[in-house]
Chain A
Amino acid sequence: KNQVEQSPQSLIILEGKNCTLQCNYTVSPFSNLRWYKQDTGRGPVSLTIMTFSENTKSNGRYTATLDADTKQSSLHITASQLSDSASYICVVSESYGQNFVFGPGTRLSVLP
């Protein structure tokens, strides 16, 4: 069964600190992996997308990594800001059709 797991479930950090969120998947055949940011009560917004051949992708203070061999990805947030408080969702797509498998998300709280 195709699954996406994320850890930790929730995380609290102080403003200015770095953090790393994890995503493990069993989706096969693999097409791409996306990280989304979802503010409370809003729709998800795309941060990064990586295909099989990419092992790192940055978007400002957000850096995603992908290890297709171990089927793991991480999202690193540098110098966190209060506005980073949100849920971060890992989404993995199969190679065929339009099947997206969503992880449950990691809830990040950044405190002043």
Chain B
Amino acid sequence: DGGITQSPKYLFRKEGQNVTLSCEQNLNHDAMYWYRQDPGQGLRLIYYSQIVNDFQKGDIAEGYSVSREKKESFPLTVTSAQKNPTAFYLCASSIGGDSSYEQYFGPGTRLTVT
């Protein structure tokens, strides 16, 4: 998992509550990403950030929010507006934002909302 940490590994929340997932990297990478993984589907991009204090929506940003106040941190908040939040969430980072750079993934956080 090389220098990217996600916490906690498992997270349980009641419906209607916001929850924040942590992602930290010590690789000095400029770009960071959040993906959602559901069974039988490929990873889907939620948000990405190519530089501090800047981020862009991915394919499924509705119901999520992020911040990038520090280079090493990219927390993801799952809001009550997200209709189906139960999933496995993966954070990744790369040296730069171009697709030619390899992405390094964290160990993931499994979120269960009941």
Contacts and interface: CB of A to CB of B under 8 A. Distances in A.
Nearest to A44: B105
Given A97-B98, A102-B44, 15 more contacts: A4-B42, A31-B100, A41-B88, A42-B107, A42-B108, A43-B1, A43-B105, A44-B90, A44-B105, A45-B105, A89-B43, A93-B100, A94-B99, A95-B99, A98-B98
Contacts of B41: 104
Interface of B: 1, 4, 31, 35, 40-45, 48, 50, 88, 90, 92, 97-100, 102-108, 110
A109 interface: no
B98 A103 contact: no
A98 B42 contact: no
Contacts of B97: 97-98
30 contacts: A4-B42, A9-B40, A31-B99, A32-B100, A41-B88, A41-B107, A41-B108, A42-B1, A42-B107, A42-B108, A43-B92, A43-B105, A43-B106, A43-B107, A43-B108, A44-B43, A46-B102, A93-B100, A94-B99, A95-B99, A97-B97, A97-B98, A98-B97, A98-B98, A98-B99, A100-B45, A102-B35, A102-B43, A104-B41, A104-B42
